[in-house]
A and B are shown apart, each in its own frame.
Chain A
Amino acid sequence: MFSAENLISVGIAALLTAGLYAIMSYGLAIIYGVMKVINLSNAGFLMLGAFLALVYFQRWHLDPVLGAFVNLPIFFAAGWIVHRLLVRRVVTALPIASLLLLFGLWLVLQNLALAVWGGEDQSIITAYTYKALPVLGFRIPVTRLIVFGVALVVLSILHFALGHTYLGKALRATVQDPVAGLLVGIDTEQINAMAFGLGTAFAGFAGGLLTLLFSFNPDFGGTFQLKSFTIIVLGGLENLAGVTVGAAILAFAESYAVLFMRASLQNVIAYALLVVALIVMPGGVAQLLSRRRT
């Protein structure tokens, strides 16, 4: 039924979607990796990132890509403050405390957006919103290409920073063993605050980028949150590099599965993968690979 051209076209679309998924899941992975806290407010910050990009666009005609970069320091600061004021107080309590706190924060952010911008769908249309680039006979949407490219650059910078800077190494050390990190002199409190800020910055950044692809309203982000959970579980909860692999698995599974099943079941794929990953490989792809090596 499907020609080779169709299948390649789906593959290209899946690859581009994987970049999008990776950028929106990284924040969640960093926060969980360092603090073992599931940041349910991630979707709220993602949504706020989209609305702020809209504000920049409407007031100063700032392109959403630049808007996403402007979001980075703003959301880093917001995350830092949220950590100092709220999250820090529950991080050592039972997981349900942080879950409820951050779920509540998500609701507050949603209602804040509702009060400020109303509940209607908003969208940003740029000169290149509907443009597509012909590459080797395939038409590639410019917006998807930009999101993929920007995601690739930002994630490469992050990987470099994690591997070559003191803060990055301290962050990775805290992910691996917070107690050992403390013993060797890492200020884990500061690292936690930085991780929460960084995670929130990524959410705001992703929100700005997503405006290139989707219309949005205060409910925006919920579906992406589920996908982000699936991705970080697939990648291995404490494995930052695994996020990219998890994003690719989900994007390719969704894109190709829909060719052979009802599109209305598209979201089931994420749920099914989440369940399978939790049962068969709770440590994600990273654990699966390390098992093979041993």
Chain B
Amino acid sequence: MQRFVRAVSAVLLAPALLLGAAAIGRPPGTWGAYTSASEIKIGAVLPLTGPFVASGTYFKQGYTMAIDEVNKAGGLDVGGQKYMISLTILDDGSDATRSRSLVEKLVTDQHVNFLLGGYDTSLIEAQEVVPDQYKIPYVEGGGAASEIFKRGYKYVFGTLASIYNMGKFTMGFIAAQQAAGKLPKPISIALVWENTDHGKDYETAVLEEAQADPGAFKVVLNQAFQLNGSDFSPLLQQVKAANAQAFLSDAHLPDFITMHRQYLQAGLYHQFISYGGRGPDQKGRQALGPGADYLVAAVWWTPALKDPASQLFAQKYTQQYHQVPDWFQALSYDTARVLLLAIREANSLKGPVVRDRLSKLVMRNSLLPGGVIRFAPDGQIVAPYVMVQNTPGNTVRIIWPQKLPESRDPILPLPHAQ
């Protein structure tokens, strides 16, 4: 019996010891050294099943588009040598634990040189412990909570402006509409937010603005809700009881769809409604139909932007995937492009060198409003938002900032038929 146990132990331990020996013998930052001489391996773990499947699929499309473009042009020039890019994408099923272990698997089994991020904040927070451990640069465009960048990781970079800034931007927009006489001053606000760092960022920003200007804003309800909730009816009863003039909710796409559907079914009405960055998403509009009309959202990108780069991207995306892109696809496309640019400018495939390049990088042909991507010392981008409003007929228009030539007057207060 003892002999059997020893034999089994030997069989189980041998691969682990071999792997451990290989790991000990390998200095950090060289995990991609197994790659072939003319190929750069990039890995990403995305939610291709589970609650975030729609967003995960969009990110896959954006990453693929950016990398295909480089490969079709003959590869990426690094130090005078052309490298083809291979992209390995694994599915975490929208599960944080699986997400983290799959990112590690990409590094240790697939020997990727660089990492692209997953989607949403909770999954990014699970993934982001891996890059620093192996000194592999990681650029993400799917997590916007500022908490992601407060943990001191040096290899994590994000192309989404923070949710905190989104909250501030939304409150700034409301203040401007108060000044224009389109919304009452002071305005009472029912605030609900998902119980994650994403939601807390939004809550903090709204409360700070309300405290800073009590003559303009009065938060009469402040409630957190469970991410991926199935029934928001009791919460909406509270919203109804609060009798507010504005309804602000920070929610991800599946929760936005469920909550707004139940909001409309309950016959609620507010003069101003915003679900943070949700509303103009094609999936949301399909799921809610005319119920999504007139919603206002602060987004990182919209196909309504008329700059040439955005129009070209929207055109190429529509040709390839036969649908109109949302910010998900644009941000993931730019996220992959910013990583590739950093590799090219670093003239190296070494993780620490590319990481240093990313920290100083200025990408000037970005799709984002303003056209520039550069990272703050904590790794998160500093970039502006645009405020958009859904209009009937599945159209979206930019309503803020006014300085944008494509900006139109918002329809506020929201029509009662909403």
Contact = CB atoms under 8 A, between A and B. Distances in A.
A92 B49 CA distance: 36
A267 to B, nearest CB: 6
B51 interface: yes
Q: By CB atoms of chain A within 10 A, which of B232, B234, B235 has the most?
A: B234
Contact of A123 (B192, B237, B267, B287): B287
Contacts of B352: none
Nearest to B291: A130
B254 interface: yes
B283 A130 contact: no
A17 B233 CA distance: 9
Contact of B49 (A13, A119, A258, A265): A119
Contacts, number: 123
B409 interface: no
Interface residues of B, number: 40
A10 B54 contact: no
Given A6-B241, A258-B234, A259-B241, A132 B265 contact: yes
Interface in A251-277: 254-255, 257-259, 262-267
Contact of A119 (B53, B230, B253, B286): B53
A3 to B, nearest CB: 8
B263 to A, nearest CB: 9
Contacts of B264: 129-130
B181 interface: no
Contacts of A2: 241
Interface string A130-174: 101000000101111000000000000000000000000000000
Q: Is the interface of B mostly helix, strand, loop or mixed?
A: helix
Interface in A186-224: 213-215, 217-219, 223-224
A258 B226 CA distance: 12
B250 to A, nearest CB: 12
Contact of A263 (B49, B235, B258, B267): B235
Contact of B288 (A119, A125, A257): A125
Contact of B262 (A114, A139, A142, A213): A213
Nearest to A16: B233
A255 B265 contact: no
Given A6-B237, A258-B238, A224 B49 contact: no
A130 B254 CA distance: 18
Q: By CB atoms of chain A within 10 A, which of B50, B237, B261 has the most?
A: B237
B339 interface: no
Contacts of A266: 225-226, 229, 231, 234-235
A114 B237 contact: no
B237 A13 contact: yes
Contacts of A13: 233-234, 237, 266
B172 interface: no
Contacts of B254: 121, 215, 217
B265 A130 contact: yes
Contact of B257 (A123, A129, A218): A123
Given A114-B49, A215-B257, A258-B237, A125 B289 contact: yes
| Top 9 A-B residue pairs of the complex, sorted by shortest distance between their CB atoms | A119-B53, A258-B234, A139-B267, A132-B267, A141-B265, A263-B235, A264-B195, A223-B230, A6-B241
